[in-house]
Structure 1
């Protein structure tokens, strides 16, 4: 006689609160949140996510945090207001882990809670934002990347707003709009040129903040709020002496280091109250200003000019090879550090009021190549459905929109499931697109927007041909590579083609 199973009694659900964030606050932030929420439902736990994206964030209910049994941080930039989560079992990882290993993170935080492990300093308020942004064993290189990405994450919205406004100004008023008088002196409601000048001059103002914001928030990532003043001061000096993007990077790191050094000095208790509002801003700004004006500013400005001149001198084969390299970088890790380096290089070139033609070609090539992986995967799921799972086919529908919007991260679900086939195919397509974009001489003043800013692109028809060529290469390669894959025992035709594929296709639902 079979033994009856013992009765089970429901227990209180395990509760988790999570925070996700990435340098740009656009794609990885929300993909990690969705992955964690889906894994939470599958694991039967209550999981609530706070997405600290580029549009700001809505704080978790304090009651939800208080009732939580564990915390998951999946982020590449400092978690804002991290002190709220003090005293909880905490798992602290990069944002990609939140996308690719959500179920493992939930298991890990449950294990920590069962063992009563509370991460030291999870929210205790000690250390700088970056020191609280990852595991205590982070290498200096990892921390340096986080400092730089903190600055870049705050700079990107200024680049996007300023670049699009400048591009719209040129589209409305023509290239001569750059020499138009101030709209404070002349503005006519009925003249199209006045509106073009208005757009252009607002864009100039937005661009004027790029280097100070970059430097200020790099310093903030290193030294918290006391780093903001010397960081902004150093960044503005870098901007004024034409030290550009490189000057902003150096000024931010310098300001953070100076503030951290001052904070290590033992101060009499009577002076501690005025340290953060008077002494630290005064002394750190003086030191950073002196170093930028007198010591290192001029060499950095010369280095920036050398890089700009080199870029302006690129033509023919050299320009095409640069397009290939940038295309490979944009598609290598789909929004990761290598992708961000290529994007930062491109945006640095146009982050001036009068960028060179070569700099705008680089920006065009970078954006075109970044659109290829998700569009290629979307097309592949359309033309060869049987090579992909039902979930991948659903992701393919979203990838059309993500790719068209220049969000490379739309290909991450495919790369995570099959990196050895998807990433090489994506890189090949990106290299083709980058090379063709440079060869066609397409230019772009706007740093983002994807297909929605095509009217603002120089040689738009050829630009679209370059993107289409790369997408076709990626699609063809990924289809060929997946078709060569041997099906694992027990797999269906949805995952790999075999003799039964046609029959299997009729038995299972196919996404439109």
Structure 2
């Protein structure tokens, strides 16, 4: 059979490509043909019209809204999360092989009054909400990365007083390092100003497609203006998507239909959302954000370490899945406040995320006999994935032995998160792993926190594999593994 697939995760870095690789391998094992479009951080290479036309079925493995879903009209479509594609690609292909084509034409129109969106209407309410939110977050992350790294670089070059430097449009000396630091700071700050509008705009986009972009951006800008911050952006995006969805249901004369998506819907949608955010909802949301920020800034000692441990444990709980993304989104959202504690939370989350792959790589090196040949092979790329803050590098180990690996990873990541908070390490960049270590506030103690977390996780997993059921833990036991375990 011939299949086409689209894979997309919120960050568009690891799960996106791991899901694509798993589906391609499963298709080869079945003797099928598969073309995959990865909607990742590096952009996408769209499926060709010929591939789509020739496909017997479509697989959408995504945790965010999939762009241009209309391309697959009339084709059997199977939807799943990227984690399901990574863990059970073969079963997805089996489902796709027996799936029924989607209805088209008048029958589909009568039974499906909902306007087309980037997120499946067949998903549960909770799944749809999560995909809407994750779509917004996925578009925000590049802005956070660019802005955060530029601001961190400006501090590294010019010190923390660089924020008081005059505007570079008034004074800029190409021969002065301070001027370049001020330029980096002001560009990074400009990038950060887009965070909340972009979040709101693309949440709305996921809900109601392009006509919702303008109301979403306007609602996000209003949230910034009233001080409602990241939480205001979330609510503004959902409001904009809901309002535009309602407006699209209104039946209008054919003479007006052509200007609805480009004039009428953006106009009335922006007016409604802007009014709600400025007049009705803005101040209460701003008060809630202020309370949250004050609570975070008031954390110290054991309370801060507890928060770091909880977020670290969540990062390792499903290695890039929904729980992981909740903790990560919380940290990224905090960056919009610019508070010291928010920067500490981002550092703790990144430290925790590096632990699982590094710990498994270390454990497989130190206690090779407890791992299968396939797991030992996976340990080599896990080193690089770990230092790059790609937590998914531990998935091959967790998939083969979840009951011993996942608790061990939670223990190590919680330790790293707690220690990072205790040491007061700060970070403005939402990604980069050890490659952004020079931009971390308190880099040496931060490295100590990561190493401690790796050692804890590796020690626990080695002990678990040694004393809680000896031998190889994977389904694949080779003669080489048997001999190593016996030795």
What is the DSSP-based 3-state SS (H/G/I as helix, E as strand, rest coil) of the residue aligned with 1:270? helix
Counterpart CA distance in 2 for 1:65 and 1:262 is 32
Change (3 A) 1:502 1:234: closer
What is the DSSP-based 3-state SS (H/G/I as helix, E as strand, rest coil) of the residue aligned with 1:438? helix
2:289 matched to which residue of 1? 304
2:261 matched to which residue of 1? 276
Counterpart CA distance in 1 for 2:293 and 2:300 is 14
Q: Decide which structure has the larger Cα Rg and report it.
A: 1
CA shift digits 1:21-46 (9 cap, x unpaired)? 11111111000011111111111112
Instruction: Please list every run of at least 4 consecutive aligned residues from structure 1 whose deviation after the TM superposition is greater than 4 angstroms.
Output: 124-130, 486-498
2:395 aligns with one of 399, 407, 412: 412
How do 1:9-28 residues align onto structure 2 when only pairs under 5 Å count? Answer: 14-28=1-15
2:119 aligns with one of 130, 133, 158: 133
TM-score, normalised on structure 1?
Answer: 0.90
Counterpart CA distance in 2 for 1:357 and 1:494 is 51
1:150 matched to which residue of 2? 135
Counterpart CA distance in 2 for 1:387 and 1:120 is 51
Relative to its length, the structure with more helix (as a share) is 2
Counterpart CA distance in 2 for 1:402 and 1:336 is 16
Counterpart CA distance in 2 for 1:489 and 1:228 is 49
How do 1:338-353 residues align onto structure 2 when only pairs under 5 Å count? Answer: 338-352=323-337
Give yes or no for the alignment of 1:92 onto 2:92: no
Counterpart CA distance in 2 for 1:196 and 1:87 is 55
2:28 matched to which residue of 1? 41
How many angstroms does 1:108 deviate by? Answer: 2.1
- 5+ residue gaps, structure 2: none
2:215 matched to which residue of 1? 230
2:433 matched to which residue of 1? 450
Change (3 A) 1:492 1:68: closer
How many angstroms does 1:69 deviate by? Answer: 2.2
What is the DSSP-based 3-state SS (H/G/I as helix, E as strand, rest coil) of the residue aligned with 2:221? helix
1:69 matched to which residue of 2? 56
Which moves more between the two structures, 357-366 or 258-267? 258-267
Which moves more between the two structures, 250-259 or 342-351? 342-351
Query: Is contact 2:372-2:477 (8 Å) kept?
Result: no
What is the DSSP-based 3-state SS (H/G/I as helix, E as strand, rest coil) of the residue aligned with 2:243? helix
2:184 matched to which residue of 1? 199
CA shift digits 1:266-285 (9 cap, x unpaired)? 22333212211111111111
What is the DSSP-based 3-state SS (H/G/I as helix, E as strand, rest coil) of the residue aligned with 2:61? strand
How many angstroms does 1:265 deviate by? Answer: 2.2
Counterpart CA distance in 2 for 1:255 and 1:212 is 12
Give yes or no for the alignment of 1:313 onto 2:291: no
Change (3 A) 1:493 1:289: closer
CA shift digits 1:361-398 (9 cap, x unpaired)? 11111110111111111111111122222222222111
How many angstroms does 1:219 deviate by? Answer: 0.6
2:424 matched to which residue of 1? 441
Give yes or no for the alignment of 1:426 onto 2:409: yes
Query: Is contact 2:372-2:473 (8 Å) kept?
Result: no
How many angstroms does 1:78 deviate by? Answer: 1.7
1:105 matched to which residue of 2? 92
How many angstroms does 1:492 deviate by? Answer: 7.2
Give yes or no for the alignment of 1:472 onto 2:455: yes
How many angstroms does 1:431 deviate by? Answer: 0.9
TM-score, normalised on structure 2?
Answer: 0.94
2:43 aligns with one of 56, 64, 75: 56
Query: Is contact 2:315-2:413 (8 Å) kept?
Result: yes
1:366 matched to which residue of 2? 349
How many angstroms does 1:307 deviate by? Answer: 0.5
What is the DSSP-based 3-state SS (H/G/I as helix, E as strand, rest coil) of the residue aligned with 1:296? helix
Counterpart CA distance in 1 for 2:394 and 2:41 is 20
What is the DSSP-based 3-state SS (H/G/I as helix, E as strand, rest coil) of the residue aligned with 1:78? coil
Counterpart CA distance in 2 for 1:188 and 1:215 is 37
Query: Is contact 1:329-1:342 (8 Å) kept?
Result: yes
Counterpart CA distance in 1 for 2:133 and 2:474 is 47
CA shift digits 1:27-72 (9 cap, x unpaired)? 1100001111111111111212111101210112222222222221
Change (3 A) 1:91 1:167: same
Query: Is contact 1:21-1:95 (8 Å) kept?
Result: yes
CA shift digits 1:145-179 (9 cap, x unpaired)? 11111111111111111111110111111111111
How many angstroms does 1:87 deviate by? Answer: 2.3
Counterpart CA distance in 2 for 1:420 and 1:166 is 41
What is the total number of aligned residue pairs between the two structures? 481
1:377 matched to which residue of 2? 360
2:469 matched to which residue of 1? 485
Counterpart CA distance in 1 for 2:354 and 2:286 is 33
How many angstroms does 1:90 deviate by? Answer: 2.4
Counterpart CA distance in 1 for 2:51 and 2:250 is 40
Change (3 A) 1:451 1:231: same
